[in-house]
Structure 1
Amino acid sequence: MEELSKAQRARAAIAAFKTLSDALILTGSYQPSGTTGRKLEEALRQFSPEIYGSMTDSRIVELKGLEYVIDRLPRGIEACNKIVLTAQEDLDGTSFEEIRPLKRRRLSYVVSSKEICFVITKGTTEIYDILTHLTFLNIEAQKIRMQAQRQSGEISIEWSQLQRLRDCDLLVEGPELDQAIWNLSIILGRTYRETRQTYEYLEQNREGGFNNGLFRIVHDLGKRLVDQERGEDDRLTIYFTPSLQDILGQHRYASHWATTVKQRLVELKLHLRPIHVVSANLHSFRNILYGFGAMREVGGTPAEDLYDMIQQLREHDERVMRYGASFGFQQHRDPSGSNIDVQIIDTSRLDPSCVHPQVLLSWDYIREVQPVILVMDYAFGAQAYEVMDELLNPMIGEEGEWNLSIESISIMGKAGILPGKKGDIMLATAHVMEGTPHNYILENDLAKDDFNGDVDVYCGPMVTVLGTSLQNKDVLERFHTSAWRAVGIEMEGGHYQRAINAAIIQRRIPRHMKVRYAYYASDNPLVSGQTLASGPMGNEGIRPTYQISKVIIEKILRKDHAP
């Protein structure tokens, strides 16, 4: 029998992880220390995600991966032995503390010091994301436990000192802090400098209430496994409630979200206008269309260069929104739980004084056609299909059934790039759905020539993946170097296109409606030190983000680009 390649073994492991996760959701619960939990762990080790770095090395704890996960899970998760994934209605009206992680719009509730409930509103992608992170934490907890106890069963000196810090909740500094970090570095198998960097990173966010600090996190991860060996009641168990099982695939949150958006358009008397849907962040379109005027209104001097002006607008979101409200800008807060806020821009109320001179618009065309731009915040993975499908569904009201007049759909996202570097731009020619036979070719209304050349632009297929935490270097290398010639990986584009194709077949939108897909590179998962776990982009993300936004705005609001 021919031996499988590394990429084939990794893809099989990713498929196994997904299949096991789907089965566990139906089963209702599992224990990471049980048979199925160990199989999940085995699959994660097999495909060894780039974002988790040295997870498979039993000698050392993966610190950058730990930072990444702790930023995306609720405070105190490390001490829990009961984790429940449920639907919102199970927790409405309770007195439990609401808690959200630093870097994921994910609602959780603290039931007790040992129990946390996740509210799942984004579908299966969110569940895969949580299970991957929990499996990673359990792998790292096993390494920590091995350092807590010697082979003889005795507690190590370093662990005793860490336990003293935890039990007394001591705040150490100076030489005592150096000694504590040194002891911790021995437990973690990392250098003093590496341990200190992670300690300082987590301390910055601990002050905001987003985590419990490195000492407590490491201690509680290890202690949970030590306690687990002493009694069955201490075993970590993850539950999936029947209410969660009932809502998966039902679009409940997405349907509510789309209904409220359409109702808002009706209230504003904009529902019969030509509408351009944009999936993007909630600052770039607003700042490009209103930032220049907002600065001038208060006597400021906007920079001549658009991107320099964007830097000036930092910390002035409220000012720009107040200004924009006088010129057609409306903010729609999502009441559905989908965590997708919307901005509605009535361009007929725009004025040339609002917009930076480097943004080239056709004002006569705007006055004649009066387009409406609907900017929706980022969806998460498969949630993109649900919200777009519901948005493109007909609305039923007093006037009967009607469809929004969608003129274009533009998707601007961040993605991992395969041939380039952070800050580059990718334009999709197709979306390849990882782990499925579903591939979507598209006619992208964006081309390399639309950009001014000061940022590298790559055109080609994008791979829509199950999650950022489920990526393997060998698999990505194959997508890039084989006949697929993929230029990047992302999580939503294929799901959006699936909904768009369905709407075309059902004649809800015209077959030749313009679609635009552009991504700025937040990381390169094939290059060590450039994965998402290596940290955010910072200022280097401003130019590609705003360059894409500027091009899309000009495509929508210039007559020579009209449908």
Structure 2
Amino acid sequence: MQDLTRAQKARMAIRSFKTIAHALALRGYYMPSEKMGQQLAECLISLSPEIYGSMNNPRITELKGLEYVVDRLPRGIEKCTRIILTEEEEIGDSTFEVVQPLKRRRTCYRISEKEFCFAVTRGLSEIYDILTHLTFLNIEARKIHARMTDEAGNITIEWNDLEKIVQRFRQSAVSLSGRELDQAIWNLSIILGRSYRETRQSYEHFERNKQLSKWKESFFSLIYHLGNTIAAKEGSREESLVIYFTPSLMNIIGHQRYGQQWADDIRATMTALGLQDRPVHVISANLHSTVNLLYGYAFKEADEDVKRLGLYDFIMKIRDESDQIRGFARDCGMCEIHDQSGSHIDCQIIDTDRLQGLPFHPELSIDPAGNPQKPVLLVMDYAFGAQAFEVMDCLLDPYSDNSHERPMPVASISIMGKAGILSGSKGDIMLATAHVIEGTSDNYIFQNDLTPEDFDDDIDIYVGPMVTVLGTSLQNRDMLRRFQSSWNTVGLEMEGGHYQRAISAAVIKGHIHRDVKVRYAYYASDNPLISGQTLAAGDMGDEGVRPTYMVTKAILEKIFKTSQHIEPVSHTLHEPPEKGGSGDARVPEDRHPSGRGLDEDLPPS
């Protein structure tokens, strides 16, 4: 029997994780402590994601992974014995406390101290994300529980000390300091199997985030409850964690209900503003860089010292004034659409005709008066994984207007965002020539309207295919190296392939022109092939400002230089493209994917 390579084992682990997750959702529930839950854990252990570092080492607790996961789950999840995944409609009108994770846009409800409900509105990617995080948390909790007792089964001195600290804090809410704090961290480091410095860094991380999330519990409480909850589960089946999937949840997956309402709200707003017939340029990005570039300089027009700064130094200076700049932008024609659908994607509509007369930074080469089409910018916040297909597919669909259908007059679609890089380092920029969707045979080749010449000379630009992964936690180094060698991929992200799937579908269905410009640019937030440079290492901070605004600048300059007229989509789109015509998708020969299917590297069954 042929032995599997490590990359093939990783691929099989991901495939198994997906299959089990789907089976559990259809079954309706599972317990992490029992067979199906243990199979999920085995898949994650076999995969050994880079972002979870030392998860597979039974002697030490993976602290950076713990920081990453806890920041993306509702605080207090470590005490839970019941977690329910459902749709928003089931619980949206209740009086339960809404809890927003610190670093993930998802809606959670605290039913009681031991019960949480996740309102899943972003599709399968969100389900995978929640399940991988919960599985990791359970793996680490079992390691902590194993350090509660010695070989004779007696509670250790360190655990007794930890329990006293947690109980004392619960009674008086007095924080530790000085020598007492050092001693507590030292004891905790023994439980965690980590050094004092590593434990101290995690303690400080949770203390900072405790203030941001307005959560009273400390890092000590988190570790205590993770270990103690496992102990309670082993003592009583009734205390075991159970994760439920409501029948209504699976009924809405793939039905695009949230995406349809989101798109309808955008169209209604554009119609109310009288912009429905103007060419639309869709930008999937953050909700600050476009506004700051277009309005920031005019907002600071009276500040001569700030105006003399170079573009990126200027942006650094105005970052703390984003709220005031948004207010100025609203007075100058920018309309904000706050999501009401549950998709968690806010939008901005910018009427560029009302930009005329505003001054722009000298390094930003745009002229609103020079574009007779008076384009409209639709800036949408980041989608999450496969949700990108749903929202883009619904947005590009024709919509009803006085009992007849009218298409969205889309002139270009620009996708920018942060991604993992495979060849460079943090802060570099990647331009996609194709997207390869992990776990399927889907791959999409397109002509990227962005080129390295659109960017500054002093930044590294990598051009080539991107791999669209299932999630930040469902990948490892061996699998990514296989993509790099086999498909010439330069980076990895979660949404691009799903966006392009929707764009290609809209062209095939005749909803948009095949010559609509597409632009994909990513800045590197991490390099998962290098230890210590994964997403778990922390945010980019100021390091991300320059590449973020450089990509935004390149996209805006391309849009304002475009003067193409958008004809109605009616009679030509269903005809086959002529040989060599604009319908042919091309990439440079030296960057063309190999063309092999994603499953080709697996041995025959």
Question: What's the TM-score, normalizing by structure 2?
Answer: 0.91
1:63 corresponds to 2:66: no
Q: What does residue 94 of structure 1 align with?
A: 94
| Whole-Å separation in 2 of the counterparts to 1:559 and 1:338 | 31
| Partner deviation per Cα, 1:310-343 (whole Å, 9 max, x = no partner) | 1111121122122222322111111111110101
Residue 230 (structure 2) aligned to one of 225, 230, 237:
225
SS at structure 1 position matched to 2:459: coil
- Structure 1 unmatched ranges of 5 or more: none
Deviation at 1:352, TM superposition (A): 4.5
Aligned residue type for 2:428: D
Runs of 4+ in 1 over 3 A off after TM superposition: 297-301, 559-563
Q: What does residue 444 of structure 2 align with?
A: 440
Alignment check: 8 A CA contact 2:353 2:368 kept: no
Q: What does residue 331 of structure 1 align with?
A: 336
SS at structure 1 position matched to 2:300: helix
SS at structure 1 position matched to 2:213: coil
Pairing 1:157-176 to 2, within 5 Å after superposition: 157-169=157-169, 171-176=175-180
The range that moved more, 412-421 or 81-90, is: 81-90
Residue 375 (structure 1) aligned to one of 379, 383, 399:
379
| Whole-Å separation in 1 of the counterparts to 2:313 and 2:357 | 19
Residue 178 (structure 1) aligned to one of 179, 182, 205:
182
Deviation at 1:298, TM superposition (A): 6.9
Alignment check: 8 A CA contact 2:353 2:369 kept: no
Pairing 1:47-58 to 2, within 5 Å after superposition: 47-58=47-58
Pairing 1:133-172 to 2, within 5 Å after superposition: 133-169=133-169, 171-172=175-176
SS at structure 2 position matched to 1:129: helix
The range that moved more, 325-334 or 518-527, is: 325-334
- Structure 2 unmatched ranges of 5 or more: 567-605
Alignment check: 8 A CA contact 1:381 1:492 kept: yes
Alignment check: 8 A CA contact 1:75 1:210 kept: no
1:471 corresponds to 2:469: no
Q: What does residue 40 of structure 1 align with?
A: 40
Deviation at 1:562, TM superposition (A): 8.4
SS at structure 1 position matched to 2:552: helix
Alignment check: 8 A CA contact 1:347 1:372 kept: yes
| Partner deviation per Cα, 1:384-416 (whole Å, 9 max, x = no partner) | 000000000111122521111000000001100
Residue 201 (structure 1) aligned to one of 205, 210, 222:
205
The range that moved more, 146-155 or 188-197, is: 146-155
Alignment check: 8 A CA contact 2:423 2:490 kept: yes
Q: What does residue 516 of structure 2 align with?
A: 513
Residue 298 (structure 2) aligned to one of 293, 306, 314:
293
Aligned residue type for 2:533: Q
| Whole-Å separation in 1 of the counterparts to 2:212 and 2:549 | 29
The range that moved more, 400-409 or 205-214, is: 205-214
Q: What does residue 573 of structure 2 align with?
A: none
| Whole-Å separation in 2 of the counterparts to 1:92 and 1:338 | 13
Q: What does residue 246 of structure 2 align with?
A: 241
1:526 corresponds to 2:529: yes
Deviation at 1:292, TM superposition (A): 0.2
Alignment check: 8 A CA contact 1:85 1:119 kept: yes
Q: What does residue 356 of structure 2 align with?
A: 351
Deviation at 1:560, TM superposition (A): 7.5
Q: What does residue 483 of structure 1 align with?
A: 486
Q: What does residue 110 of structure 1 align with?
A: 110
| Whole-Å separation in 1 of the counterparts to 2:212 and 2:543 | 25
Aligned residue type for 2:269: R
Aligned residue type for 1:455: I
Q: What does residue 119 of structure 2 align with?
A: 119
Alignment check: 8 A CA contact 2:397 2:511 kept: yes
Deviation at 1:363, TM superposition (A): 3.9
| Partner deviation per Cα, 1:81-119 (whole Å, 9 max, x = no partner) | 111111112212322111111100111111111011111
Aligned residue type for 1:475: M
| Whole-Å separation in 2 of the counterparts to 1:505 and 1:558 | 27
Residue 423 (structure 1) aligned to one of 422, 427, 445:
427
Residue 418 (structure 2) aligned to one of 414, 417, 428:
414
The range that moved more, 303-312 or 467-476, is: 303-312
| Whole-Å separation in 2 of the counterparts to 1:501 and 1:153 | 61
The range that moved more, 93-102 or 273-282, is: 93-102
Q: What does residue 492 of structure 1 align with?
A: 495
| Whole-Å separation in 1 of the counterparts to 2:381 and 2:564 | 24
Alignment check: 8 A CA contact 2:352 2:368 kept: no
| Whole-Å separation in 2 of the counterparts to 1:134 and 1:30 | 12
Pairing 1:256-271 to 2, within 5 Å after superposition: 256-271=261-276
